[in-house]
Each structure stands twice: as C-alpha cells, then as structure tokens.
Structure 1
Amino acid sequence: MHLTQRHARPLRQRLNGNASRRRNRRGAAAVEFAVCLPILVLLVFGSIEASCMIFLKQTLSVAAYEATRVAIRDGRANADGERSARQILEGRSVNGFDIRFPNGEALDADRGAEVVVEVSAPSAANSPLIGQFVADRVLTARVVMIKQ
C-alpha cells in the first residue's frame, strides 16, 4: 500500500463530508441573503426617491428662473412669466405646483427694481414610491432678478 492510500479516507466518507459542507454553506448563504436583502432594497428605493426629489427641486428652479427672466422684460407682466413656468412644470409632470410673485406685478415695477418669483410643489404628490409613507414637505425655488 502506498502511504497516500493508507491515510486517505474511504470514498463514501469523503463524499458525505463534502455534501455536508455544501449544505452548511447553502444555509449560510441563505441567512446572509436574508440579512442583506432589506438593506439592498432600502438603498435602491432610497436612491430612486432621492433622485426624484433632486429632479423636482431642479425643475422648480428652472421654472422660477424662466418665469423671472420673462417677467423682467420691459412690457411683460406676471402672467407672461407664469405661463412660461407653467409650461415647464406641466411638461415635466409636476403636480400641485404654485407660482407666486411676492413683490407684486412686474409690469408696474420700476427699472432696476427686484422681481421675485417663488415656485413651490409638495413632495408627496410628486413622489413615485414612498410619498404616502413619508411626511410631506413643500419644496420651493426662489429667484430674484433686476427689472430691465
């Protein structure tokens, strides 16, 4: 007999030992998966929700900028700026938005006066995933320009 044959376990013992190790490893993998899955799901949906809120905030900023840019031109009124902002907000499917000119009518403002536009929208109405589970916040973008 060779030295390796004397110390080698019988074939049946080796196969049973490997199968036992494989079963134990499969069980450990199932437990690891069960622990990691909720964390991964939370990360994925959290990332999607954060991206949607960033998109909403950027849309509000763009709409406020465009409304102000239109309203500061000579001979233009708040309605012209509001129309411009509304097109952007509706084009990007923003729900429940509000457009305000807190300083009054831009048409009546003197040259060099500030024209302010605030555009707001609720986060819950514009959330694709968890808007019903998280407290509603109103996101607002404010732009100030000088009348030309």
Structure 2
Amino acid sequence: MPRKRKMNRRRGAAAVEFAVCLPVLTLMVFGSIEASTMIFLKQTLNVAAYEAGREAIRSGSSNANATVRASGILQNREVQDFTIRFPNGESFDAQRGQDIIVEVSAPSGPNSPLLGEFISNRILTSTVVMVKQ
C-alpha cells in the first residue's frame, strides 16, 4: 500500500509541475513565432527597398518602375498595407551622381499571424540610399 501512495503523490506533483510550466512554454513558443515573423517582415522590407533602389538608379528608369518591382516582392511575400516612398522626388529627373532614397514601410499588426499579441502595432521601415548612374 505505501508504494501506491508514493505513485499517486508523484503523479500529483507531475500534474502541478506541468500546470506551472505550460503557460511559460506556450508563451515562449508563440513569442518565438511572433519574433520570427517580425524578422521576416523587416528582411522583406529591406529586400524590397534594395530592389526598388536598384531599379530607380538605372538610367532612364522612373519611380513607377521601382514601385512595380518592390510591390511585386511585397505581394509575393504577402505583406499587407505597405507603402513605398521616394522622399527626394522622381528618380527619372535626378542627375547622375545624385542620391536616390527609397523608403518601404509596413505595419506589424496586419502582418502578424498572432494579431500582435506579443508586439504592439508599429510601422517597420526600411530605407535605402543609392547613387544615380
């Protein structure tokens, strides 16, 4: 009989340990998913800004061409509510050697699989500066 009591006590201890650890493990798993998603989003914005910049600095290319290129990348990676800006104007009118700046932004909330439970909604932005060819 004493052996059965020990087994029952051990089962009870295991249940309590599980009940204490489960929320921590769940938080870690979902937090990791959220963090990975935000890293992927930021990297996607970097790639889109870089490719838009590469397109915009080419001789004879315009902001419209660069926007199409960046939009294609962002849409393929299913980024929601993105914006693409060219703060210093039309790249077609820029002279050779002038800086071309491209800013690509997206909010974190609509792009989160967990709807921003762990990270509040922020606007992530990637900026690229390249010299016109």
1:37 aligns with 2:22: yes
Contact 2:34 2:118 in 1 (8 A): no
Q: Which residue of 1 aligns with 2:44?
A: 59
TM-score (normalised: structure 2) = 0.97
C-alpha distance in 2 between matches for 1:73 and 1:110: 11
Which SS does the other structure have where 1:124 is aligned? coil
Provide the TM-score with structure 1 as the length reference. 0.88
Asked if 1:113 is matched to 2:98, the reply is: yes
Aligned to 2:4: 19
Report the Cα offset of residue 135 of structure 1.
2.4
Kept in 1: contact 2:60–2:92 (CA 8 A):
yes
Match for residue 131 of structure 1?
Answer: 116
Percent identity (aligned): 62
2:115 and 2:65 map into 1 onto residues whose CA distance is 35
Deviations along 1:96-115, whole A, 9 cap, x unmatched? 00000001000000100000
Q: Which has the larger radius of gyration?
A: 1
Tell me, yes or no, if structure 1 residue 86 matches structure 2 residue 77.
no
Moved more, 47-56 or 129-138: 129-138
Structure 1 segments (4+ residues) deviating >4 Å: none
| 2:110 counterpart SS class | helix
Confirm whether residue 69 of structure 1 aligns to residue 42 of structure 2. Answer: no
RMSD: 1.0
Q: Are 2:42 and 2:125, in contact at CA under 8 Å, matched by a contact in 1? A: yes
Q: When the two structures are aligned, how many residues end up with a matched partner?
A: 133
Task: Give the unaligned 5+ runs of structure 2.
Answer: none
Partner residue, 1:5: none
Structure of higher RCO (CA pairs closer than 8 Å, 6+ residues apart): 2
Q: For residue 93 of structure 1, what is the amino acid of its counterpart?
A: E
- Structure 1 Cα separation of the partners of residues 38 and 113 of structure 2: 10
Match for 2:130: what amino acid?
M
CA apart distance, 1:131: 1.8
Q: Out of 103, 118, 122, which is 2:107 matched to?
A: 122
1:133 deviates by 6.6
